Amino acid sequence: MSQKNDKDLYVPERARIVETKEMTDLEKYFRIKLLDREALGHAPGQFVMVTVYGVGEVPISVSSPPNGRSGEFELVVRKAGNVTQALHNLGTESLVGIRGPFGTNFTSKGFERKDILFIAGGIGLVPLRSFIKQVVNENKKYRKITILYGAKSPDELLFKEEMDQWGKKENVEVKITVDKGDPSWKGNVGVITTLIPPLEIDIQNTLVAVVGPPVMYKFVILSLASKKVANKNIYLSLERRMKCGVGKCGNCQIQGSYACQDGPVYCFADIEHLKEAL
Amino acid sequence: MHKISSEKFHKVLEQIIKDNETYGAVKKRDEYIYDRLETLSDLEIENYVPTVLPPKKYFYPQEEDLVQIDYKTKKANRVIFKKEIVLLGVRPCDINAISLFDRIMSDGNPDPNYLERRKHITVIGFDCVKSCWEHALCEAVGTINVKEGYDLFFSEYKKEYVIKTGSKKGEELFDRYIKNSHKLSEKERDDYHHERAERIKKFNHKVKYLFQDVSSIFEKHYDDPYWKEIGKICLMCGSCVMVCPTCYCFTMDEEVDLKLQTVTRKRKWDGCMLRDFAMVAGNHNFRPTAEMRLKHRWNRKFNYLLKKYHMSNCVGCGRCGFACLVKINPIDILNTIMGNYYSGVKHESEK
Amino acid sequence: MKPKVAFFDFASCEGCQLAVLDLEEELLDLVNIVEIVNFREAISEKGEDYEIAFIEGSISSEHQIERIKKIRKQAKLLITIGACACTGNMQYLSNFFDFEEVKEYVYGDKAKYFDPVQSKPIDQIVNVDFQIPGCPIDKYEFLKVVKQVIAGGLPRIPNYPVCSECKMQGNECLLKKGILCLGPVTRAGCGAICCKNFKYCFGCRGLAPEFNIESFKDVLRSIGYKEKGIMAQFKIVNGKDIQLLQSGGK
């Protein structure tokens, strides 16, 4: 992992906000550049600890793929508590603190020339986007890429334009659904699991990456199970309240596993026996 | 191994207290606390019972500055804490807890703030010659014996004191304070071990089952009905966590000073029995009930961390059992869950 | 730009504002980061252009209802300080009696010249953004909250019970000695100052966000207290929450 120095375990590095965008009522986009280091060096699915100085620190998944613009990375932050709210009040040129990246990551290794199925619920798209972009940017390396995305309502959909762009690639299919439509919505209505039964999944040769709110996992796992997808091919990212990010503070523990070190990205086969996981 | 007379023992301690900033068990009102020792008479030796808080507070304080950040430039630096202190009269349970802390804090990503502070703390242990109180289970969980975590260790033997050194620092202390000691012959050494073992046989022994199988039993009885039973009465007050010598979970917060010059990032004790511990954004709580929290806390002690660090993460001091107003305690937890396992009580998932 | 701050008091002893003034050493630094425009206890100015309002005291008259509504309109951030404003404190006990009797008891035949209402904490009249509880408040906790807000964050105080904090202090447990203490159900943040000085906790910081009241009552019964005595102890500061509890509302 790229923790730069043991001696600075809890010391944040300085970073500058170079661009912000309001995405929805609750979500805001940040493009961030490290001041004292070239690149973040993250992998898809990893997270960073973001400091708003004097307010506190909060774990946020990196939303951009690796090897983005030099030294820059993207975050999408939902306004939910003390630190995230303060973060929303920051504009470009503001400095924030960064520790990390931390945790395990998604990888498509072993699935070249095979299929990849992404399932994102709500802001689960944010961490998954890093992996989706990595795969879609090299779409020729894979056979079929399917992206399922569900949100509560049309105005909560994130990265809609990007979704359209991804869907235009020849082997990429994007399917979007909302729990509740509005008069202008012409697409699917229903929870995300309604998109799974019609899929044709080559179960031996498909990698499934799932990120969503805690309640979504159980249902998605059930749907995938009824399609006979093997647990070892399902990867998911579990949300917990990381405080230290380095396996010490205990806040993110899932039974014997530390979500900040052994996760947040887990192979489902490794955690299916953990009752606290889902 | 060497030994000194009782008289010399007291002289040595007196000198250590004189030369160093020394802390030890002192009687407050009805209970003992670790506090500054001015003279040897402050220290409780004969009638020790576990202090309200373990000596953890010296190397892992309730609230500790980790990082200081310049509020203008946002340049950040680790806070380096250096203060030489001596902890005198630390008992085997607490020494085992210190040893466990040392392992946990050096494991994986070593914790620099802890390790720096720890370097400057000298631990001088006293053996227990009798069972301290009915809440203790050190002899069951194997923490009556000490292997590491101390610098010097004194053990009473036939009205004299046997001395063990546990580190280089301990050897230096030995050379400095203990001159003219008697080296134990092989026969004396065997006799000492024999007598000590006999002594321990007279301890509590309230845990009815063999401890070595505990983690697999806790694993198999993850949904033992006892968790629900004690979950119902648990006050979720966090006392057990706060008095525990091995609980190390923490939260971080930061504060700017009134001159708006410096932000200080602090580490504070936190605990899995408390409401906010497993709560994530949007107020979703991954462990909303006392039942789930108790299960987690005790699985950490007897299962998850035991497996990871190859020693019981409950050191058997009994402080939690004493502090708990509804009498939830590790002796009953072990006896009930292991008892249920051996008597074949079906746990919920099997029903 | 320093945020403009005002202090207002309602039915109270004004001890919480005194606690703020008692921050002698920090007071000069405090006015460097905030501008105090209205603080009857300390200054003669009466600015009405404040952003942050600290409210001490409970509401006990029609006139006060109007006044707190006006303050709420102006303040971007309304923070109540002290038990009177946060829980209603002991004056809330009037809610457990017939109000006509209470009026007569207090004012006798002059009752008609006053406009009292049954005593209410502030959040029963207007929306409150944050509460700094305590009787009186802990001045350092007050300072902490100010710093949190200045840094751009939300105010945050402990959500765990006093017992946790009491143990952190290394105090001996009073309940273990048979003394009725509300530590297990009361919100921490005071540093367990009463227990530290061998006085029981009477719950001045309000109930913790989470507690096990039934089990706690069992504990109290086991050391010889009766239901009536227990409830009386609760009611001193937490009458409002006890009413809610009894009606199954919390």
Read off the pLDDT of residues C122-177 as tens digits, 9 standing for 90 and up: 999 999 999 999 999 999 999 999 999 999 999 999 999 999 999 999 999 999 99
- Give residues with Cβ within 8 angstroms of A69, minimum separation 6: none
pLDDT of residue B348: 56
Q: Is residue B78 domain-shared with residue B164, that is, in the same domain? A: yes
Q: Is residue B232 domain-shared with residue B187, that is, in the same domain? A: no
Which residues does chain B have with pLDDT short of 50?
A: 351
**Running DSSP on this structure, what letter comes out for residue A65?**
P
Average pLDDT, chain A: 94
Report yes or no on B24 lying in a domain.
yes
- Looking at the structure of chain B, the number of domains it has is 2
ω into A59 cis (within 30 of 0): no
Contacts of B251 in chain C (CB under 8 A): none
pLDDT of residue A41: 93
Q: Is residue B43 domain-shared with residue B85, that is, in the same domain? A: yes
Question: Which of B172, B201, B230 delimits the end of a domain?
Answer: B201
Contacts of A56 in chain C (CB under 8 A): 153
Nearest to B157 by CA among B124, B123, B185, B122: B185
Report ipTM for this prediction: 0.94
Helices then strands, each counted (H, E), chain C? 10, 7
Closest alpha carbon within chain C to A51: C153
Q: Does B197 touch chain A (CB under 8 A)?
A: no
| Residue from B252, B277, B304, B347 to probe the interface with A (highest A Cβ count within 10 Å) | B252
Q: Is residue B177 domain-shared with residue B257, that is, in the same domain? A: no
Question: Which of B180, B201, B222 delimits the end of a domain?
Answer: B201
Domain boundaries, chain C: 4-150, 162-246
Residue A4 has pLDDT above 60, yes or no: no
pLDDT band at C112 (very low <50, low <70, confident <90, very high): confident
Closest alpha carbon within chain B to A252: B278
Report yes or no on B332 lying in a domain.
yes
* Residue B290 tokens, joined: 């006392």
| Four-way CATH pick for C4-150: 3.40.50.700, 3.20.20.150, 1.40.20.10, 3.40.80.10 | 3.40.50.700
Q: Is residue B186 domain-shared with residue B310, that is, in the same domain? A: no
Q: Does C148 touch chain A (CB under 8 A)?
A: yes
Q: Is residue B196 domain-shared with residue B231, that is, in the same domain? A: no
CB contact under 8 Å between B237 and C150, yes or no, is no
pLDDT band at A1 (very low <50, low <70, confident <90, very high): very low
pLDDT of residue C250: 46
pLDDT of residue B283: 85
CB contact under 8 Å between B254 and A248, yes or no, is no
Q: Does C200 touch chain B (CB under 8 A)?
A: no
Q: Is residue B197 domain-shared with residue B222, that is, in the same domain? A: no
CB contact under 8 Å between C152 and A55, yes or no, is yes
Q: Is residue B298 domain-shared with residue B178, that is, in the same domain? A: no
Alpha helices (H) along chain A:
82-88, 125-137, 160-168, 214-226, 268-271
pLDDT band at C22 (very low <50, low <70, confident <90, very high): very high
Chain CA centroid to CA C224, Å: 29
Closest alpha carbon within chain B to C156: B253
A vs C: CB pairs below 8 A: 28
d(CA B45, CA B64) in angstroms, rounded, equals 30
* CA-to-CA separations, B292 to A236, B131, B276, B315, in angstroms, rounded: 23, 32, 14, 22
Tell me the shortest Cα–Cα distance from A81 to chain C, in angstroms: 8
ω into A101 cis (within 30 of 0): yes
Nearest to B217 by CA among B101, B340, B34: B340
Question: Which of B163, B180, B201 delimits the end of a domain?
Answer: B201
Report yes or no on B174 lying in a domain.
yes
Strand C77-81 and strand C130-132: the pairing is parallel
d(CA B94, CA B132) in angstroms, rounded, equals 13
In the beta sheet, which residues pair with residue A172?
A145
Report yes or no on B206 lying in a domain.
no
* CA-to-CA separations, B3 to B166, B167, B168, in angstroms, rounded: 15, 18, 19
Q: Is residue B35 domain-shared with residue B175, that is, in the same domain? A: yes
pLDDT of residue A3: 44
Residue A251 has pLDDT above 70, yes or no: yes
Residue B68's domain spans which residues?
A: 2-201
Tell me the shortest Cα–Cα distance from B130 to chain C, in angstroms: 24
Neighbouring chains of B at 3+ CB pairs under 8 Å are: A, C
Check if the beta carbon of residue B74 is closer than 8 Å to that of residue B68: no
Reported in sequence order, the residue ranges of A138-213 that DSSP labels E, i.e. its strands, are: 145-151, 172-178, 188-189, 206-211
Report yes or no on B162 lying in a domain.
yes
Check if the beta carbon of residue A150 is closer than 8 Å to that of residue A124: no
CB contact under 8 Å between B67 and A239, yes or no, is no
Amino acid at C62: E
Three-state SS for chain B is CEEEEHHHHHHHHHHHHHHCCEEEEEECCCCEEEEECCCHHHCCCCCCCCCCCCCHHHHCCCEEEEEEEECCCCCEEECCCCCCEEEEEECHHHHHHHHHHHHHHHCCCCCHHHHHHHHCEEEEEECCCCCCCCCCCHHHHCCCCCCCCCCEEEEEECCEEEEEECCHHHHHHHHHHCCCCEECCHHHHHHHHHHHHHHHHCCCCCCCCCHHHHHHHHHHCCCCHHHHHHHHHCCCCCHHHHHCCCCCCEEEEEEECCCCCEEEEEEEECCCCCCCCCEEHHHEECCCCHHHHHHHHHHHHHHHHHHHHCCCCCCCCCHHHHHCCCCCCHHHHHHHHHHHHHCCCCCHHHC
Nearest to B319 by CA among B44, B74, B31: B31
Residue A69 has pLDDT above 90, yes or no: no
- Give residues with Cβ within 8 angstroms of B316, minimum separation 6: B93, B136, B137, B138, B139, B140, B141, B143, B144, B330
Q: Is residue B61 domain-shared with residue B7, that is, in the same domain? A: yes
CB contact under 8 Å between A250 and B272, yes or no, is yes
Tell me the shortest Cα–Cα distance from C23 to chain B, in angstroms: 12
Residue with tokens 């304080």: B61
Closest alpha carbon within chain A to C156: A82
Check if the beta carbon of residue A268 is closer than 8 Å to that of residue A221: yes
pLDDT of residue A2: 41
Domains (range + CATH), chain A = 6-102 (2.40.30.10), 115-271 (3.40.50.80)
Q: Is residue B215 domain-shared with residue B129, that is, in the same domain? A: no
Q: Is residue B82 domain-shared with residue B131, that is, in the same domain? A: yes
